[in-house]
Amino acid sequence: MPTSISERLASELKLSPSRVARAVALFDEGHTIPFVARYRMEATEGLDEIALRAIAEGHERLRTLEDRRAAILASLQEQAVLTDELARAVQNATSRTTLEDLYAPYRPRRRTRATMARELGLEPLAEAILAQPPSGLPPHARAQSFLGPDVPDADTALAGARDIVAERIADDPDVRQALRAKAATWATLRVKRRGGKTAGEDPKEVFSAYYDMSQRIDRLRPHQTLAIDRGEAEKVLRVALDIPERDALTAIGLRFTPDRRSAWSGELSAAIADADTRLLRPAIARDLRRGLTEEAHTHAREVFARNLAALLRLQPLTGHVVLGVDPAYRTGCKLAVIDATGAVLATDVIYPHAPQHQADAARATIARLVRTHAATLIAIGNGTASRETETFIAALLPKLDTEIRYAVVNEAGASIYSASPLAGKELPDMDVTLRGAVSIARRIQDPLAELVKIDPQSIGVGLYQHDLDENELARTLDGVVEDVVNAVGADLNTASPALLQRIAGLGPKLADAIVTHRDAQGRFARRRDLLAVAGLGPKTFEQAAGFVRVLGAEPLDASAIHPESYEPARALLRRAGLDPRDPPPPAERAPALEGLVAQRPPDALAADLGVGRPTLDDILDQLIRPGRDPREDAPAPLLRGEAMSIAELPVGARIPGTVRNVVDFGAFVDIGVGQDGLVHRSNVGRGRHLHDLSVGDVIDVLVLSVEPDRGRIGLAWAQD
């Protein structure tokens, strides 16, 4: 059995212990996950951010387990109950559940029936029940010696002794583990619609699928667990987890069996029945419910993380002058025009919908803004009044005498950004209500740069995210944002504090300090100028430098090559016959560098330069394609020129759509009718899986069903 934390973690993750140990050592030295993944590839043999994060989280979890093990051993020692056998069992426990099962009989607890019986001195009588003596005094006769003021008769004494035995049985680690293992497969979750005066309301029948449900728990899906938990919390559903009695009695029988030859067998049988119904099965049912919820929450965090990563990696639409539209009814649609750099050119408000119905004035305002600022794209938020606004703008586009199209943009969190201190700094003289339109416009220009300004939990691509532990979810999502931001990099001279604080090694204080320094001293001329920022030392510089770019300066400063590799990179350029101080454009470098590699085997070339092969490959890639944005591989946003209502949607139509969310049971797809349709997992298609889809993917779908009154659209992923 693996002994060290690194060995156990390596076994869990199916990695070599040496890779795990080296990664942990790097973390202990203060290196960040993005830095280790990108610039310590030789040490970890190429582990990526996902594997490294699993190592970091797993190591923290196992360290916590070791702390708990030490605390339990100390408590057992203090109670003078730590036998050699128990110590070995505690030392060999590989999970928190097993540890707690071993500790259960000795854990300090509130006063129970068994506790009170012990206080009455009935422990020896309980030992007699457990021993099942074949001869000697029968139970009632033996119980006479335990009578007193608080134990008036033999029945009372035996009842107290049975309470002690029942608790001993229910706390037995072997019994609990045997029953838990059996129940994890065969227990049944039964769900009913709650009735009576205390029942919660479900006017939209959100939980109707669970009004009368019975499901083996090993077949329960995470999204079902989350829905059932919420329905129970809202008092709409009544939930019970049933464990078969035979399974409990079988588990108990492994350790406690009445001897029919003994006069005490009836007492033990009664204690077993009491332990089963009052203590053991309810405790295991609670454990299993808690485990189901924890697994569902872990899965939900993974779903949210996967969708958030895809959303942050959406391809930016650069070079456009964008008219952002934040739709609304009574308060009007807020408009903001931004130039290709994101600077605000103009703002306005129009009232094309009820109750004002100022459609003509709204058309004139949009036409004026598009014409005056040469707008080439309109971004419409997908919130309230989005459908009506999209229809209004789609009808207007042909009359504008210009090549302009529109896209519907996920506006989740825009209102939160609008009222944030960051928005106040960025747009200090702008009304709060107009800032949302600016955010919507910027989101299509550069989704990552804009979305990092918003708490990831406020970006609606999760599954029951409001039911999840906020701290755990925040930690998961922060890791996703960190990975994506560092994979893309940040322009040191234009990045916002919100973007800079996600760079490896930095944080909110240093990000603000960098922007303050930039505002006071002017543009950064090179990466090393970061060391002049107050509070930013060599260690932080080491972690962050490779992920920031200084465009238009030293060519290497505009790439993802780390400053520690500048000398090998310059040597490589010289070997290829190129001037490292003024190398030709990337397209002209490629033949010379590729020719060099053809002449000298890469491993030998890496050795010549004093770097590892992974670092050499990374340097070559960056010299040939410096500062390449990985988001270029993502599909371009779907731009539209016309709109369709849900009532006009024909069944059987094949329509392009944008994936907005991917959850356990299907994918929600925006097909331009103001209501996302659902591609159920059963309609993904043969040879495909939901995991083949990501937020932002543009796919063709077939319309299977339309329910305008309920706002439901059934879709299938169209086959090529």
Name the domain count of the chain. 5
Residue 262 sits in the same domain as residue 345: no
Cα 514 from Cα 531, distance rounded (Å): 10
Closest by CA position to 606, among listed 636, 638, 631, 571 = 571
Phi, psi dihedrals of residue 125, rounded to the nearest 5° = -70, -40
Mean pLDDT by 10 residues, the chain (720 residues): 79 92 95 96 93 94 94 94 94 91 88 94 96 93 95 97 97 96 96 92 91 96 94 96 96 95 96 97 97 94 90 90 96 96 95 95 96 95 88 91 88 88 91 95 93 85 80 90 94 94 96 96 95 96 96 88 95 92 85 90 92 94 86 82 78 90 90 87 90 90 89 89
Is 49 a domain residue?
yes
Residue 99 sits in the same domain as residue 58: yes
Residue 558 sits in the same domain as residue 596: yes
Is 216 a domain residue?
no
Q: What pLDDT sits at residue 1? A: 46
Percent of the chain with pLDDT over 90: 74
Residue 147 sits in the same domain as residue 127: yes
Give pTM, 2 decimals. 0.86
Look up the CATH number of the domain holding residue 71.
1.10.10.650
Residue 91 sits in the same domain as residue 134: no
Residue 289 sits in the same domain as residue 150: yes
Is 10 a domain residue?
yes
Is 468 a domain residue?
yes
Is residue 661 within 8 A of residue 695, CB to CB? The reply is yes
Residue 256: partners with Cβ closer than 8 Å, 6 or more residues away: 130, 169, 172, 175, 268, 272
With tokens 């040597």, the residue in question is 571
Look up the CATH number of the domain holding residue 332.
3.30.420.140
Three-class SS of 140-165: HHHHHHHCECCECCHHHHHHHHHHHH
With tokens 């506006």, the residue in question is 411
Side by side, which strands form the sheet with 344-350?
A: 344-350, 333-338, 322-326, 377-381, 405-409
117: left (phi over 0), alpha (psi -120 to 50) or beta: alpha
Of 456, 480, 504, at which residue does a domain stop? 480
Of 480, 504, 536, at which residue does a domain stop? 480
The helix/strand/coil state of 57 is helix
Residue 118 sits in the same domain as residue 256: yes
Instruction: Rounding to the nearest 10 degrees, give the CA dihedral for residues 288, 289, 293, 295.
Output: 20
Is 150 a domain residue?
yes
Q: Which string of b and e fits 561-588 if b means at least 16 CB within 10 Å?
A: bbbebbebbbbbbebbebebeebeebee
Of 106, 133, 157, at which residue does a domain stop? 106
Is 217 a domain residue?
no
Is 444 a domain residue?
yes
Residue 270 sits in the same domain as residue 343: no
Look up the CATH number of the domain holding residue 259.
1.10.3500.10
Look up the CATH number of the domain holding residue 557.
1.10.150.310
Q: DSSP assignment of 362-421, as one string?
A: HHHHHHHHHHHHT--EEEEESSTTHHHHHHHHHHHGGGS-S--EEEEE--TTHHHHHTSH
Is 358 a domain residue?
yes
Residue 134 sits in the same domain as residue 101: no
Residue 601 sits in the same domain as residue 659: no
Look up the CATH number of the domain holding residue 674.
2.40.50.140
Judging by DSSP bridges, how do beta strands 490-491 and 666-670 pair with one another?
Answer: unpaired
Residue 261 sits in the same domain as residue 347: no
Residue 592 sits in the same domain as residue 703: no
Q: Which domain does 10 fall in, by range? A: 5-106
With tokens 């156990």, the residue in question is 8
